[in-house]
Each structure stands twice: as C-alpha cells, then as structure tokens.
Structure 1
Amino acid sequence: MSCVEKNIKGCTCTYTACLRRGKCCECVAYHRDKGEIPGCFFTKEGEAMWDRSVANFIKDRG
C-alpha cells in the first residue's frame, strides 16, 4: 500500500474531490498559504462546516 493510499484511509476531510487528498504535505502547505487549517485537524462536526478558518478551528477545538 502506497503512502497516499494509507493517508486516504485515515483522512477525515469530506472534500473527496480534492487533488491533494492523501498528499498531506501538499494539503498542509496549500491551507497554510491560504491562512487556513486543513479539514483533518477539525472534529467531525467542525470539519462538516467547511469553514477552515483559524477562528473556526479555535471554536471547534476550544
């Protein structure tokens, strides 16, 4: 099983059409450049809101 396949298996992000899905380094870099947090960092409920902002992450995890 490839690294990407292993990552996808554990990925909690619901945006399955993403080209970076399973490529964690690319995903983190993409969201960091946009001032966002990747979906997999949120709780299931927080991720479902699709609001990747730092403020929403703090509310979700706070």
Structure 2
Amino acid sequence: MADYEFSDDLVAAQRAFYVQQAVIERLTALEPRPTLIAAGKASVPEKLSGPVRKSFEGSRGCL
C-alpha cells in the first residue's frame, strides 16, 4: 500500500461528518417508515415531541 499523508483538517472534517451522520441516523430512526406513511398506516406528527425536538434543534447548528 502507498503511504499517504492526510492533512489534519481533512481528518477533522471526516470525523465531524461521521458524528453528524450518526445524529441524522438517530433522528430518522424516530420517524415512521415512508412505506407506512404511503399505506396510510402512519403519519408524520405536525409537532415533534419533546425529546425529538430537542435532539433535532441540538443538531441544527451542525448541519
């Protein structure tokens, strides 16, 4: 394998991306599946519940 030197800012950007990816995965896991919405078996709430809202608002500045 070749030896590559990655800059610190590139490594930091990749780590920040992975952190935000985990946040998005947690938030989307709280939503109903699109197939259930399309089948009329679930709906997206008009207002987010307390813990979901706090999590969403807490991640907004990083998105």
- Greater helix proportion: 2
Taking structure 1 as the reference length, the TM-score comes to 0.24
Greater RCO structure (CA 8 Å; 6+ sep): 2
Structure with max Cα Rg: 2
